[in-house]
Chains A and B, each alone.
Chain A
Amino acid sequence: MTAASPSVAAASAPNHLGRLKALTAVTAVAFLLGLGMALAYAGTDAIQGNVQRLFYFHMGAFFGAFVAFACTVVGGVQYLRTRNVKWDTFALAGVEVGVVLSFINLATGSIWARPIWNTWWTWDPRLTSAAVMVLVYIAYLMVRSGIENRDTRHRFAAVYGILAFSSVVFTLVVIRIRPDTIHPAVIGTGAQDAQGGFAMNSSMTTTLLLNMAVWVFLLTPTLMWWRIRLQNYADRVTQRKIAYMEQG
Protein backbone atom coordinates (compact mmCIF):
# COMPACT_ATOMS: atom_id res chain seq x y z
CA MET A 1 0.00 0.00 0.00
CA THR A 2 1.28 3.47 -0.76
CA ALA A 3 0.73 6.63 1.27
CA ALA A 4 -2.51 7.05 3.13
CA SER A 5 -4.42 9.98 1.69
CA PRO A 6 -4.16 13.18 3.76
CA SER A 7 -7.86 13.08 4.55
CA VAL A 8 -7.65 9.53 5.91
CA ALA A 9 -4.57 10.33 7.96
CA ALA A 10 -6.09 13.53 9.31
CA ALA A 11 -9.50 12.04 10.03
CA SER A 12 -8.03 9.07 11.88
CA ALA A 13 -5.63 11.22 13.92
CA PRO A 14 -6.79 11.72 17.50
CA ASN A 15 -7.67 15.32 18.32
CA HIS A 16 -5.90 15.85 21.67
CA LEU A 17 -6.70 19.59 21.63
CA GLY A 18 -7.17 19.64 25.41
CA ARG A 19 -3.71 18.13 25.94
CA LEU A 20 -2.14 20.55 23.51
CA LYS A 21 -3.74 23.53 25.28
CA ALA A 22 -2.51 22.21 28.65
CA LEU A 23 1.01 21.78 27.22
CA THR A 24 0.85 25.31 25.81
CA ALA A 25 -0.11 26.70 29.22
CA VAL A 26 2.71 24.80 30.94
CA THR A 27 5.15 26.00 28.27
CA ALA A 28 4.08 29.64 28.69
CA VAL A 29 4.49 29.50 32.48
CA ALA A 30 7.86 27.71 32.25
CA PHE A 31 9.07 30.15 29.58
CA LEU A 32 8.18 33.13 31.76
CA LEU A 33 9.90 31.45 34.72
CA GLY A 34 13.04 30.96 32.62
CA LEU A 35 12.90 34.57 31.46
CA GLY A 36 12.42 35.77 35.04
CA MET A 37 15.35 33.69 36.26
CA ALA A 38 17.55 35.02 33.45
CA LEU A 39 16.68 38.60 34.38
CA ALA A 40 16.46 38.47 38.17
CA TYR A 41 18.05 35.30 39.54
CA ALA A 42 21.20 34.66 37.50
CA GLY A 43 24.19 36.72 38.52
CA THR A 44 25.44 39.58 36.34
CA ASP A 45 28.63 38.86 34.41
CA ALA A 46 31.27 41.31 35.63
CA ILE A 47 32.96 41.70 32.21
CA GLN A 48 30.00 41.61 29.80
CA GLY A 49 27.21 43.11 31.89
CA ASN A 50 23.55 42.33 31.28
CA VAL A 51 23.95 41.33 27.61
CA GLN A 52 25.43 38.02 28.79
CA ARG A 53 21.89 37.05 29.88
CA LEU A 54 21.00 36.58 26.20
CA PHE A 55 23.04 33.38 26.26
CA TYR A 56 20.25 31.61 28.14
CA PHE A 57 17.94 32.08 25.14
CA HIS A 58 20.69 31.91 22.51
CA MET A 59 21.71 28.39 23.55
CA GLY A 60 18.15 27.28 24.26
CA ALA A 61 17.12 28.36 20.76
CA PHE A 62 20.02 26.48 19.15
CA PHE A 63 19.34 23.23 20.95
CA GLY A 64 15.60 23.62 20.36
CA ALA A 65 16.36 23.97 16.64
CA PHE A 66 18.68 20.97 16.85
CA VAL A 67 15.86 18.83 18.25
CA ALA A 68 13.38 20.16 15.66
CA PHE A 69 15.76 19.35 12.79
CA ALA A 70 16.45 15.93 14.32
CA CYS A 71 12.67 15.35 14.26
CA THR A 72 12.81 16.13 10.53
CA VAL A 73 15.35 13.33 10.10
CA VAL A 74 13.11 10.93 12.06
CA GLY A 75 10.10 12.04 10.00
CA GLY A 76 12.03 11.64 6.74
CA VAL A 77 13.31 8.16 7.56
CA GLN A 78 9.91 7.02 8.76
CA TYR A 79 8.19 8.44 5.69
CA LEU A 80 10.58 6.61 3.35
CA ARG A 81 9.97 3.39 5.31
CA THR A 82 6.18 3.59 5.67
CA ARG A 83 5.04 6.18 3.06
CA ASN A 84 2.62 7.43 5.71
CA VAL A 85 1.97 11.14 5.18
CA LYS A 86 1.84 11.84 8.92
CA TRP A 87 5.63 11.47 9.01
CA ASP A 88 6.02 14.04 6.25
CA THR A 89 3.88 16.43 8.30
CA PHE A 90 6.08 15.73 11.33
CA ALA A 91 9.22 16.47 9.29
CA LEU A 92 7.74 19.68 7.88
CA ALA A 93 6.82 20.92 11.37
CA GLY A 94 10.40 20.25 12.48
CA VAL A 95 11.84 22.37 9.67
CA GLU A 96 9.48 25.30 10.17
CA VAL A 97 9.96 25.45 13.95
CA GLY A 98 13.70 24.83 13.56
CA VAL A 99 14.05 27.78 11.17
CA VAL A 100 12.27 30.11 13.62
CA LEU A 101 14.47 28.97 16.52
CA SER A 102 17.62 29.19 14.38
CA PHE A 103 16.70 32.75 13.48
CA ILE A 104 16.38 33.58 17.20
CA ASN A 105 19.77 31.92 17.76
CA LEU A 106 21.41 33.99 15.01
CA ALA A 107 19.71 37.26 16.02
CA THR A 108 20.52 37.01 19.73
CA GLY A 109 24.10 36.03 18.88
CA SER A 110 24.45 39.03 16.61
CA ILE A 111 23.02 41.40 19.25
CA TRP A 112 25.35 39.94 21.89
CA ALA A 113 28.33 40.29 19.54
CA ARG A 114 27.84 44.03 19.00
CA PRO A 115 29.08 45.17 22.44
CA ILE A 116 31.37 42.15 23.04
CA TRP A 117 33.09 41.72 19.64
CA ASN A 118 32.38 45.28 18.53
CA THR A 119 30.58 44.06 15.41
CA TRP A 120 27.10 42.75 14.52
CA TRP A 121 28.52 40.04 12.28
CA THR A 122 31.79 38.42 11.29
CA TRP A 123 32.46 35.55 8.89
CA ASP A 124 33.65 33.28 11.66
CA PRO A 125 33.42 29.51 10.95
CA ARG A 126 30.63 29.01 13.54
CA LEU A 127 28.57 32.02 12.47
CA THR A 128 28.98 31.15 8.80
CA SER A 129 27.95 27.51 9.27
CA ALA A 130 24.93 28.58 11.37
CA ALA A 131 23.86 31.00 8.62
CA VAL A 132 24.33 28.34 5.94
CA MET A 133 22.29 25.91 8.07
CA VAL A 134 19.34 28.34 8.20
CA LEU A 135 19.57 28.94 4.44
CA VAL A 136 19.63 25.17 3.77
CA TYR A 137 16.36 24.76 5.68
CA ILE A 138 14.73 27.85 4.14
CA ALA A 139 15.58 26.27 0.77
CA TYR A 140 13.79 23.09 1.95
CA LEU A 141 10.60 25.09 2.48
CA MET A 142 10.92 26.97 -0.81
CA VAL A 143 11.74 23.96 -3.00
CA ARG A 144 9.15 21.78 -1.29
CA SER A 145 6.38 24.28 -1.94
CA GLY A 146 7.33 24.35 -5.62
CA ILE A 147 6.82 20.61 -6.24
CA GLU A 148 3.28 19.94 -7.50
CA ASN A 149 3.16 16.14 -7.31
CA ARG A 150 2.36 15.13 -3.74
CA ASP A 151 4.35 11.88 -3.63
CA THR A 152 7.38 13.46 -5.31
CA ARG A 153 7.19 16.36 -2.85
CA HIS A 154 7.10 14.04 0.15
CA ARG A 155 9.94 11.84 -1.14
CA PHE A 156 12.11 14.83 -2.02
CA ALA A 157 11.43 16.47 1.36
CA ALA A 158 12.30 13.27 3.23
CA VAL A 159 15.65 12.83 1.48
CA TYR A 160 16.52 16.55 1.66
CA GLY A 161 15.58 16.72 5.36
CA ILE A 162 17.86 13.79 6.17
CA LEU A 163 20.82 15.17 4.19
CA ALA A 164 20.32 18.73 5.51
CA PHE A 165 20.95 17.55 9.05
CA SER A 166 24.68 17.33 8.21
CA SER A 167 24.71 21.17 8.30
CA VAL A 168 23.31 21.04 11.87
CA VAL A 169 25.92 18.55 13.06
CA PHE A 170 28.69 20.58 11.42
CA THR A 171 27.45 23.77 13.10
CA LEU A 172 27.41 21.98 16.44
CA VAL A 173 30.96 20.64 16.25
CA VAL A 174 32.71 23.39 14.28
CA ILE A 175 33.82 25.26 17.43
CA ARG A 176 35.62 22.08 18.53
CA ILE A 177 37.35 21.32 15.24
CA ARG A 178 38.24 24.77 13.89
CA PRO A 179 41.00 26.42 15.92
CA ASP A 180 40.47 29.83 14.26
CA THR A 181 36.91 30.42 15.51
CA ILE A 182 36.34 33.25 17.97
CA HIS A 183 32.98 31.82 19.10
CA PRO A 184 33.22 30.86 22.78
CA ALA A 185 32.26 27.39 24.04
CA VAL A 186 30.07 27.82 27.11
CA ILE A 187 30.27 24.11 27.95
CA GLY A 188 33.75 22.58 27.87
CA THR A 189 36.88 24.04 26.32
CA GLY A 190 36.60 26.21 23.23
CA ALA A 191 39.10 27.37 20.64
CA GLN A 192 42.23 29.22 21.72
CA ASP A 193 41.12 32.46 20.00
CA ALA A 194 37.60 32.40 21.51
CA GLN A 195 36.44 35.83 22.68
CA GLY A 196 33.57 36.55 25.03
CA GLY A 197 33.57 33.36 27.07
CA PHE A 198 32.53 33.50 30.70
CA ALA A 199 32.75 31.40 33.83
CA MET A 200 29.37 30.42 35.26
CA ASN A 201 28.47 30.40 38.93
CA SER A 202 25.73 28.13 40.32
CA SER A 203 22.87 30.60 39.68
CA MET A 204 23.96 30.95 36.04
CA THR A 205 24.25 27.17 35.59
CA THR A 206 20.78 26.59 37.09
CA THR A 207 19.26 29.29 34.87
CA LEU A 208 20.97 27.92 31.76
CA LEU A 209 19.83 24.35 32.45
CA LEU A 210 16.24 25.43 33.14
CA ASN A 211 16.06 27.54 29.98
CA MET A 212 17.60 24.77 27.89
CA ALA A 213 15.00 22.33 29.25
CA VAL A 214 12.16 24.78 28.50
CA TRP A 215 13.29 25.41 24.92
CA VAL A 216 14.12 21.78 24.12
CA PHE A 217 11.40 19.83 25.97
CA LEU A 218 8.50 22.33 26.01
CA LEU A 219 8.69 25.17 23.49
CA THR A 220 9.89 23.11 20.52
CA PRO A 221 7.34 20.26 20.94
CA THR A 222 4.51 22.73 21.59
CA LEU A 223 5.18 24.77 18.45
CA MET A 224 5.63 21.59 16.40
CA TRP A 225 2.37 20.14 17.68
CA TRP A 226 0.43 23.28 16.72
CA ARG A 227 2.07 23.20 13.28
CA ILE A 228 1.13 19.53 12.82
CA ARG A 229 -2.48 20.33 13.76
CA LEU A 230 -2.52 23.15 11.20
CA GLN A 231 -1.15 20.87 8.47
CA ASN A 232 -3.73 18.18 9.25
CA TYR A 233 -6.45 20.83 9.01
CA ALA A 234 -5.00 22.12 5.72
CA ASP A 235 -5.01 18.57 4.32
CA ARG A 236 -8.66 18.11 5.32
CA VAL A 237 -9.68 21.36 3.62
CA THR A 238 -7.69 20.43 0.49
CA GLN A 239 -9.47 17.07 0.30
CA ARG A 240 -12.84 18.79 0.62
CA LYS A 241 -11.89 21.21 -2.17
CA ILE A 242 -10.88 18.30 -4.41
CA ALA A 243 -14.11 16.46 -3.62
CA TYR A 244 -16.10 19.61 -4.36
CA MET A 245 -14.37 20.13 -7.72
CA GLU A 246 -14.85 16.48 -8.70
CA GLN A 247 -18.57 16.81 -7.94
CA GLY A 248 -19.14 19.62 -10.20
Chain B
Amino acid sequence: MTTPNTTDFMLLGIAVTLGAIALYVLSLWWRARSLKADEAMLEQE
Protein backbone atom coordinates (compact mmCIF):
# COMPACT_ATOMS: atom_id res chain seq x y z
CA MET B 1 0.00 0.00 0.00
CA THR B 2 1.30 3.47 -0.88
CA THR B 3 0.98 6.24 1.70
CA PRO B 4 -0.82 9.20 0.05
CA ASN B 5 1.01 12.51 -0.29
CA THR B 6 -1.02 14.86 1.89
CA THR B 7 1.88 17.10 2.93
CA ASP B 8 0.35 20.21 1.30
CA PHE B 9 -2.74 19.90 3.49
CA MET B 10 -0.60 19.43 6.59
CA LEU B 11 1.38 22.58 5.76
CA LEU B 12 -1.82 24.52 5.12
CA GLY B 13 -3.20 23.41 8.50
CA ILE B 14 -0.04 24.43 10.34
CA ALA B 15 0.00 27.79 8.56
CA VAL B 16 -3.64 28.43 9.56
CA THR B 17 -2.92 27.41 13.17
CA LEU B 18 0.15 29.63 13.53
CA GLY B 19 -1.53 32.44 11.58
CA ALA B 20 -4.62 32.45 13.81
CA ILE B 21 -2.54 32.60 16.99
CA ALA B 22 -0.30 35.30 15.52
CA LEU B 23 -3.31 37.37 14.42
CA TYR B 24 -4.86 37.16 17.88
CA VAL B 25 -1.61 38.17 19.58
CA LEU B 26 -1.29 41.02 17.07
CA SER B 27 -4.84 42.15 17.88
CA LEU B 28 -3.97 42.25 21.61
CA TRP B 29 -0.87 44.30 20.86
CA TRP B 30 -2.81 46.63 18.57
CA ARG B 31 -5.51 47.26 21.19
CA ALA B 32 -2.87 47.93 23.86
CA ARG B 33 -1.13 50.35 21.50
CA SER B 34 -4.39 52.19 20.89
CA LEU B 35 -5.03 52.44 24.65
CA LYS B 36 -1.51 53.80 25.18
CA ALA B 37 -2.21 56.49 22.59
CA ASP B 38 -5.44 57.40 24.41
CA GLU B 39 -3.61 57.55 27.72
CA ALA B 40 -0.88 59.75 26.27
CA MET B 41 -3.52 62.12 24.87
CA LEU B 42 -5.20 62.35 28.30
CA GLU B 43 -1.86 63.17 29.90
CA GLN B 44 -1.20 65.92 27.35
CA GLU B 45 -4.55 67.54 28.03
Given A107-B16, A115-B9, are A49 and B24 also a contact pair (CB < 8 Å)? no
Contact call B20/A100, Cβ cutoff below 8 A: yes
Contact call A230/B28, Cβ cutoff below 8 A: yes
* A48 in contact (CB, < 8 A): yes
> Roughly how many angstroms separate A57 CA and B28 CA in the complex, as a whole number?
22
Q: Give every chain B residue within 8 A of A97 (Cβ-Cβ).
A: 24
Give, as a whole number of angstroms, the nearest-CB distance from B11 to chain A.
8
Q: Give every chain A residue within 8 A of B5 (Cβ-Cβ).
A: 49-50
> Roughly how many angstroms separate A107 CA and B16 CA in the complex, as a whole number?
7
> Roughly how many angstroms separate A148 CA and B10 CA in the complex, as a whole number?
44
Contact call B17/A51, Cβ cutoff below 8 A: no
> Roughly how many angstroms separate A223 CA and B26 CA in the complex, as a whole number?
12
Contact call B21/A226, Cβ cutoff below 8 A: no
* A173 in contact (CB, < 8 A): no
* A83 in contact (CB, < 8 A): no
Residue-by-residue, is B1-40 near A (CB-CB < 8 Å gives 1, otherwise 0)?
1011111011011101100110011001001100100110
Contact call A35/B14, Cβ cutoff below 8 A: yes
Given A111-B9, A227-B28, A237-B38, are A244 and B45 also a contact pair (CB < 8 Å)? yes
CB-CB contacts below 8 Å: A29-58 with B? 35, 44-54, 57-58
Closest to A48 in B: B6
Give, as a whole number of angstroms, the nearest-CB distance from A244 to chain B.
6
Query: Which residues does B use to contact A, with CB under 8 Å?
Result: 1, 3-7, 9-10, 12-14, 16-17, 20-21, 24-25, 28, 31-32, 35, 38-39, 42, 45
- Extra contacts besides A50-B7, A53-B10, A226-B28 (5): CB < 8 Å: A47-B1, A114-B9, A223-B24, A223-B25, A241-B42
